């Protein structure tokens, strides 16, 4: 099937919740995607930070093939080797953690919310409320969208689930003012992704960790977008030398297969007991085998170092360009999560880049977001930057 046939068939039968662009991709290799008509695109979006090792990574492909030939599914009331190996690796990276596996970031955050409430019920004096931040994004389920501090995601789904309140991001005194007797936890992203690649001050997470400790509150870090090397470290919280009580992962965890993980300190995780939570496909052996392969790549193939160095190069190139481009307000980010804040809607830039075979993304109303593969080469970075800079120079500013 060609592009047009795939697009027509999809729109005839699929619920229209994605606002799909008129492209149908057929295959990918490394940092490139190929549409059904054979056109090649440089991918600076990675399926929204999912394919962080690029497309068709040999480690991941091999792990999927080998495991699919052995066993694709068994009930998680039994054990499998890929699941055992994955939870060991994740627990070790966290440092003495206990892991719950699901299928997505929303499921990981649901698990974190439920665990915090369960802990609050069992050991936290009956507390249940979770403070989150304005501009945050935590998922699309009713609980996680209720935890999301963006009104546009709430429209048409009210009433929201009770038990969440919002405070400004990067504002510790606001947490102190908002805390009540029923507050059990705070839930934040180390860098707000959907909120516009908003990077807090360097001491924010450390001060928040200290404040939670003083007030006997759980600190939940949503690393769905920032985890698995996106910032140049396995977890973004490693940059500031802290450890949360609970952290969530998904997106890049299995290199493109659906998976999510919640990792918690053992004394917190013990509030979950048999039957208190679960997921039919959680711990799927094929997804777990792929995730182990991703972790192998992060640890053994220089991926984290590359994300830091090439990501830093992209960031500095864009900051330098911004000095002579008056439509740019700010360039911000860390590693391979980068936001170019514009004075206007980013869609004309996104569309021009797409015409020139580069995939980028717009978010938060005026932010051009870049989420390239962590193993992107310097040459590929230069190719993408040339297209972005050309668009910012030549595309008319929308009125």
Residues 201 and 334 in one domain: no
Name the residue range of residue 245's domain. 59-300
Task: Give me 229's structure tokens.
Answer: 């090397």
Residues 100 and 135 in one domain: yes
- Burial of 81 per CB tally in 10 Å (0-12, 13-18, 19+): middle
- Answer with the one of 300, 324, 345 that is the final residue of a domain: 300
Task: Give me 6's structure tokens.
Answer: 């795939």
Peptide bond preceding 260: is omega within 30 degrees of 0, i.e. cis? Answer: no
Task: Give me 47's structure tokens.
Answer: 């399926």
Residues 100 and 233 in one domain: yes
Q: What is the mean pLDDT of the chain?
A: 97
Residue 217 pLDDT grade (very low, low, confident, very high; cuts 50, 70, 90): very high
Q: For this structure, is 233 an active site residue? A: no
Which of 45, 94, 128, 137 is flagged as catalytic?
137
- Answer with the one of 247, 265, 300 that is the final residue of a domain: 300
Report the pLDDT value the prediction gives residue 133, as an integer from 0 to 100.
98
Instruction: In whole angstroms, give the CA distance from residue 159 to residue 130.
Output: 17
Contact 134, 189 (CB under 8 A): no
Residues 188 and 65 in one domain: yes
Q: For this structure, is 213 an active site residue? A: no
How many domains does the chain divide into? 3
| Average pLDDT rounded to a whole number, residues 100-120 | 98
- Answer with the one of 240, 274, 300 that is the final residue of a domain: 300
Residues 325 and 249 in one domain: no
Residues 103 and 149 in one domain: yes
Q: Where are the alpha helices (DSSP H) in the chain?
A: 3-13, 46-49, 58-70, 81-94, 105-122, 142-147, 172-178, 204-214, 266-269, 285-300, 303-322, 347-355, 378-394
Report the pLDDT value the prediction gives residue 163, as an integer from 0 to 100.
98
| Average pLDDT rounded to a whole number, residues 117-132 | 96
Residues 232 and 118 in one domain: yes
Residues 91 and 143 in one domain: yes
Which of 44, 233, 234, 251 is flagged as catalytic?
251
Contact 311, 380 (CB under 8 A): no
Residue 52 lies in a domain: no
Residue 399 pLDDT grade (very low, low, confident, very high; cuts 50, 70, 90): confident
Residue 48 lies in a domain: no
Residues 117 and 209 in one domain: yes
Q: For this structure, is 114 an active site residue? A: no
Q: For 288-344, what is each residue's pLDDT tens digit?
A: 999 999 999 999 999 999 999 999 999 999 999 999 999 999 999 999 999 999 999
Which of 222, 237, 265, 352 is flagged as catalytic?
222
Residue 337 lies in a domain: yes
């Amino acid at each position: 099937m060609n592009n047009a046939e795939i697009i027509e068939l999809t729109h005839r039968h699929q619920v229209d919740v994605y606002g799909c662009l008129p492209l149908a991709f057929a295959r990918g290799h490394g940092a490139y995607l190929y549409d059904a008509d054979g056109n090649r695109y440089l991918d600076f979006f990675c399926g929204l930070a999912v394919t962080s090792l690029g497309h068709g990574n040999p480690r991941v492909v091999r792990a999927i093939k080998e495991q699919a030939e052995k066993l694709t599914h068994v009930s998680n009331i039994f054990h499998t080797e890929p699941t055992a190996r994955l939870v060991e690796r994740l627990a070790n990276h966290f440092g003495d953690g206990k892991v719950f596996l699901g299928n997505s970031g929303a499921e990981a955050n649901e698990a974190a919310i439920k665990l915090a409430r369960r802990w609050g019920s069992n050991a936290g004096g009956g507390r249940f409320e979770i403070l989150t931040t304005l501009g945050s994004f935590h998922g699309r389920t009713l609980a996680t969208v209720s935890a999301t501090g963006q009104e546009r995601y709430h429209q048409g789904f009210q009433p929201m689930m009770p038990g969440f309140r919002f405070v400004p991001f990067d504002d510790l005194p606001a947490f102190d003012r908002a805390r009540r007797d029923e507050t059990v936890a705070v839930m934040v992203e180390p860098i707000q992704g959907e909120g516009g690649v908003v990077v807090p001050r360097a001491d924010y997470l450390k001060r928040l960790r200290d404040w939670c400790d003083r007030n006997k509150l759980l600190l939940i870090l949503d690393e769905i977008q920032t985890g698995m090397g996106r910032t140049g470290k396995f977890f973004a919280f490693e940059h500031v030398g802290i450890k949360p009580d609970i952290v969530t992962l998904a997106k890049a965890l299995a290199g493109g297969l659906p998976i999510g993980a919640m990792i918690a300190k053992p004394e917190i995780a013990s509030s979950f007991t048999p039957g208190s939570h679960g997921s039919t496909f959680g711990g799927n052996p094929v997804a777990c085998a792929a995730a182990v392969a991703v972790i192998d790549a992060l640890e053994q193939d220089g991926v984290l170092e590359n994300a830091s160095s090439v990501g830093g190069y992209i960031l500095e190139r864009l900051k330098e360009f911004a000095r002579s481009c008056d439509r740019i307000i700010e360039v911000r980010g860390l590693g391979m999560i980068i936001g170019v804040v514009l004075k206007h809607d980013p869609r004309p830039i996104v569309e021009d880049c797409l015409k020139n075979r580069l995939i980028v993304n717009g978010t938060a109303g005026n932010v051009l977001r870049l989420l390239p593969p962590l193993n992107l080469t310097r040459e590929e970075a230069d190719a993408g930057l040339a297209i972005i800079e050309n668009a910012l120079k030549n595309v008319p500013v929308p009125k």
